[in-house]
Structure formats: C-alpha cells, structure tokens
Amino acid sequence: MKMNLDIDEVRAFIQSQSKQTNIYIGADSFRFAEGNQWFADYTIVVVVHLDGKHGCKLFGETIREMDFDKRGDKPQLRLMNEVYKVADLYLKLVDVFQGRNVEIHLDLNPDPNFISQGVVQQAIGYIRGVCNVSPRVKPHAFAASCAADRYRGIVPSLSPA
C-alpha cells in the first residue's frame, strides 16, 4: 500500500512561503501482522509552519512494507528504516529550504526504559552525516510523534484496527 507524497507540490508550497516559515520533517511507523507475515506502515510528513507563527500545512505519505525484524521488542531495522526515509525526504527538499529554519524529528526516545533508545545514537549519527542536521528526538520531536500519527489517522484505510 502506498499513498504518494507529491514532492513537486511540497517544493512549490515551501518556495511560496516567507523565509520566516519553519519546516519540520518526521516519520513514524506502525508494526502489524497479516496472517503469518509482519508489516510496517511508515508515515513520513512535512509540516510547514507558516511564518513560524500562523497555521501549518501538513504533507505526508504512508508506505506499507514487510517488516523483517524477528521480534517486535527489538525493532532496530524498522526504526532505522524510519530514519532512512526521513533523510531521503530531506535530501529531496534541501534545495528549497533557502535559509528557512528546518528540523528533522525522529520518533525515538533516549530514555533507557524505551526500546527505541537502542538506536538513538546510530540514528542521530546517520542524520548528521547524511543531512548535516542535528535531529530532535522525543520529547522534542512532534513532527514524528504527533504529526505523523495524525496524518496516519487521516487516512481511514491505514488506521490500525
């Protein structure tokens, strides 16, 4: 299952906004089983905060892929796939940012009590190396932890049962 994000539409929208506009890019995933196979819905979003003080425009897409993590309590592959997808989206848009404030948000929690803590440093290093940006993680990653969830909820056929 795939709902396409129109990169050209996002690029044109960002270019039509003022330099005070903030851009936040994030991703989240949801793991589920169908029969004997595991899948993940990856939702990537671009939040364009108009002039940094007005409303926001939310762009996104959800992509369904097989999940190859052997155990649900060890989601390293799935979580790093989120990171790769965010980096790819950033690179597709980087030339239209033109001095605007841009943040990358990762749905990872640095708290040792959470499973995602195990990939936080790897993910931060990847984003810094590929995008030259220091990403934000929970609790400061609303584009990943809130906007992506909201986008996924907007698409009824992709909502978890």
Q: Mind listing the domains of the chain with CATH numbers?
A: 7-155 (3.30.420)
Report yes or no: 109 and 137 within 8 Å, Cβ to Cβ: yes
- Establish whether the linkage from the previous residue to 110 is cis, with ω within 30° of 0: no
Looking at residue 26, its pLDDT comes to 97
Task: Tell me how far CA of residue 49 lies from CA of 20, 84, 102, 136, 153, in angstroms.
Answer: 9, 23, 10, 17, 20
- Tens digits of pLDDT across the chain (161 residues): 445 899 999 999 999 999 999 999 999 999 999 999 999 999 999 999 999 999 999 999 999 999 988 777 789 999 999 999 999 999 999 999 999 999 999 999 999 999 899 999 999 999 999 999 999 999 999 999 888 877 877 544 443 33
Q: Where are the beta strands (DSSP E) in the chain?
A: 22-34, 37-49, 56-66, 101-106
Task: Tell me how far CA of residue 17 lies from CA of 1, 12, 93, in angstroms.
Answer: 32, 9, 14
